Chains A and B, each alone.
Chain A
Amino acid sequence: MEVFIENENNVTTARFVGRLDTPASQEVTKSIEPILENPTGTIVLDCKDMSYISSSGLRIFLTIRKAAAAKGGNVIVKDINNDIRQVFMMTGFLNLFEIQ
């Protein structure tokens, strides 16, 4: 799993590549620390290349969402595949995020 974070015009984009399973989530937790430190503006979680997500991954998404909500940031989840959409639906995450 790799995470690429870019910042451009007050839009922070985190691109997740690979499987966001439990061990991967532990690594990703460190990678997204900059976002959590400054969760303002628009935060785009790009899932185009994410093939899998476990509850640990969902926890990371939820952590970002909560942090942004506290600082007035906006979180957008982008390009999730159907399997992950199912998981989002099951867990009620579809209602928590703006999905694009």
Chain B
Amino acid sequence: MKEGSLREFIKTEREKKTWGRMALVILAAVILEATSFMQLRFLNQSTRREAEIKTDKVLSTARYEIMDVVDQAEQAVRDNMWITQWCLDNPDSLINVTRRIVEDNPVVVGSTVALVPGYNKKLPFYAPYSYLRDGKLHQTSLATEKYNYPTHEWFIEPLEVGMGYWSEPYLDTNGGNIKMTTYSSPVLDPQGVTGAVITADVSLEWLSKHVGRLDIYPKAFSVLVSRKGTVMIGPVDSLAMKMSLQDMARQIKDEAGMSELIEGMLAGKRGVVSIHTRGRGTNFVHYAPIPRTGWSMAVVIPESEIYKDVRRVSVVCLALQVLGLFMLIIILLSVAKGWMDYQKARDEEDKLESELQIGRDIQMSMIPKVFPPFPERNDIDIAATIVPAKMVGGDLYDFYMRDEKLFFCIGDVSGKGVPASLLMAVTRSLFRNISAQEESPAKIVEGINKSMDTMDENGMFVTFFCGVLYMQSGRLRYCNAGHNPPLIFTDHIHELEVLPNLPLGVESSMVFEEQEMNLLLDDALYLYTDGISEAENPKHELFGLERMIAVLGERRTAWEHMEAMKEAIADFVEDAPQSDDITMLFIHYLNDNSEPKTMARHLVLHNNIQQIPQLAEFVEAIAEEKGIDQAMAMSLNLALEEAVTNVILYAYPDGIDGLVDIEAFIEDDCLRFILSDSGKPFDPTAAPDADVTLGVDERKIGGLGIYLVRNIMDTVSYRYENGKNILTMIKKI
């Protein structure tokens, strides 16, 4: 439960982290977007400011152009004011004045000097009119009944206001249909009496041709309106005089904007109004008055026009950003997905690992872990441990007691992880199953090896050491399958002599050789895996055999040995990570087997060669008891004789009386002979074998004795203990 909730917690934390990261990236994207929107906004604003300045400039230019025309027209009138005053008494010459005005001033398309009715008694109505039509000067009179000039605004207003006046635009019918505006000024005679009105006509068409051409924006246009709001110059020439601002207001729904505009323009103010129209969107209207005329000039620029470039840029930018963001999101999602997949895989791996660990723990829990394992026994002391490395490894040990025999094993599966763990579990079960019916370690090992036949295709193997200790006699049978030799404690600590053999799982038909020795009271066996001998410190030095032997040198209980070894390894490796399982099994034999009950015969000989024949009787008696044939008896006799002769001839100095002790043990499947003497230490098994393949000339005379012992007996082992040479010889029956 605990582990599950922890995993859940870790998973939740990971998800939180992932989403946190996502949120962070999204925030970054939003900030990026916001920044670019701000930039666009600033760009908009600056564009707008620039447009305003530009528009103001355009407006000013257009105004100046209009004012220039106005000035020219007014100037033309003023220039001829003096002569006109003088001509009032001589109206005939007035026609010349008008002609000159028209001829001299390109802005003026027509001019008249209209006498105030009644001023001249002879000519109550008189208004000679000169005008240009199709580039030619024409002259006519406005004093017709039809035209009736005194009724016209251009005549009435200046007289009323007593000064120069620009008329509302109107359609002049005298000289053809021309839309025009007329500047008219009262003419005072030298006596100060108003005698006439002098005029200068300005064609609206001409005006619109010469002013108000806006090339700042294609869709911008200017509007010139009269003091009453009549359009004098519009976006289209045909609009001139056909519309008033008020008419426009009716068409354009933006009431507030239009009324502000109308009010401002008619009041002769300067200003900017934004007006929303249906077709053209928002328009900025800059307007300013034309002095003296009562006119007002406006420049209209659609907002879309101003922001056209900005819009285009921003659309491209936006598109790019959206694209970028989209890509970013896709990348993010794929990264996030990858991360999630990875996490999922990790989780699954962790789960598998922990399940394996559980599986292994179950296996391990079947292995004896409670120490002492046999509290009721005082003839054996056992301690064992596995200190697993981080990864699931493949070390194992096991032991159990059956029929007064201790079955034990230690093993190391090649590799780590899942397969090693499985193979370890399999090996352990096989050991238990096979050893339940078999007490020969070699047979047990062979059985396990055969069962592993199918494994070899994985290239995995197990180094394995299996032993059977007969509790009563101290007889130790063992078989090594490629494992490192255990340490044996007799009078000193040394490596047990083992045949290497092949590890398990390499060759299924492999025949394993068994070995044997005899344990005495207080002897001990220390089995371990290379996780101990190859434990590494930070300097990459190995723990090694010497350190192990040094640690085990002191007398301790099995458990204390175990703890001491663990501590020594921990001190040695310091903070270097443990790379391999550390496994050890310590078996301390405590049975006093000095007088084994199985002993059949005991013979003590003096170091006299003449006593050798006694061996024949000794062997004969044994042969009879065990029921072995003559040939075998002769072989045993020969081996014993050779071994004993060796002692008699070489163990003791000449002239010194010494003894050779010969014990024979009869067991179910073998005979065991133990020779001991107190002579000088001599290990006959260390002597090289005689070469029996040599010819007569090369053949040495000696060396055959030990050769025969080795060949006849199945196991020959030597040790020197308590001042005695002890040679154990075992013959299987």
Interface residues of A (CB under 8 A from B): 19, 21-23, 26, 52, 54-56, 58-59, 62-63, 65-66, 69, 82-83, 86-87, 90-92, 95-96
Contact = CB atoms under 8 A, between A and B. Distances in A.
A69 B707 contact: no
Contacts of A22: 609, 612, 641, 645
A54 B609 contact: no
Contacts of B630: 83
Contacts of A87: 638, 708
B655 interface: no
A63 to B, nearest CB: 7
B550 interface: no
Interface of B: 609-610, 612-613, 616, 630-631, 634-635, 637-638, 641-642, 645, 690, 692-697, 699, 701-702, 704-705, 707-708, 711-712
B321 to A, nearest CB: 98
Contacts of A52: 616, 634, 637-638
Contacts of A90: 692, 708, 711-712
Given A65-B696, A69-B697, A96-B699, A82 B631 contact: yes
Nearest to B615: A21
A23 B638 contact: no
Contacts of A65: 696
A23 B638 CA distance: 13
A54 B638 contact: yes
B612 A86 contact: no
Contact of A69 (B694, B696, B712): B696
A86 B632 CA distance: 11
For the complex of A and B, list the 5 residue pairs with the smallest distance between their C-beta atoms, beginning with the closest: A92-B692, A55-B704, A55-B705, A83-B634, A22-B645
Nearest to A90: B711
A23 B612 contact: yes
Nearest to B694: A92
Contact of B699 (A23, A62, A83, A86): A62
Given A62-B701, A91-B704, A91-B707, A21 B631 contact: no
Contacts, number: 71
Nearest to B632: A83
A86 B645 contact: no
Given A58-B704, A66-B699, 19 more contacts: A19-B613, A21-B616, A22-B612, A22-B645, A26-B609, A52-B638, A55-B705, A59-B702, A59-B704, A62-B701, A66-B697, A69-B697, A83-B630, A87-B638, A87-B708, A90-B712, A91-B704, A91-B707, A92-B693
28 contacts: A19-B613, A21-B616, A22-B609, A22-B612, A22-B641, A23-B609, A23-B610, A26-B609, A52-B637, A54-B638, A54-B705, A55-B708, A59-B701, A59-B704, A62-B701, A65-B696, A66-B697, A69-B696, A69-B697, A83-B630, A83-B631, A83-B634, A87-B638, A90-B711, A91-B692, A91-B707, A92-B692, A92-B693
Nearest to B712: A90
B692 A86 contact: no
Nearest to A97: B696
A20 B699 CA distance: 21
Contacts of B638: 52, 54, 87
Contacts of A54: 638, 641-642, 645, 705
Contacts of B634: 52, 83
B561 to A, nearest CB: 44
Contact of B635 (A23, A56, A86, A96): A86
Contact of B701 (A26, A63, A83, A96): A63
A96 B697 CA distance: 10
Nearest to B608: A23
A66 B707 contact: no
Nearest to B630: A83
Contacts of B696: 62, 65-66, 69, 96
Contact of B708 (A69, A83, A91, A95): A91
Nearest to A53: B638
A64 B702 CA distance: 14
Contacts of B699: 62, 66, 96
Contacts of B631: 82-83, 86
A83 B712 CA distance: 12
Contacts of A92: 692-694
A56 B645 contact: yes
A97 to B, nearest CB: 9
A79 to B, nearest CB: 17
A21 B641 contact: yes
Nearest to B693: A92
B67 to A, nearest CB: 144
A50 B419 CA distance: 64
Contacts of A95: 693, 695
A87 B697 CA distance: 20
Contacts of B635: 83, 86
B713 to A, nearest CB: 12
A20 to B, nearest CB: 11
A22 B631 CA distance: 19
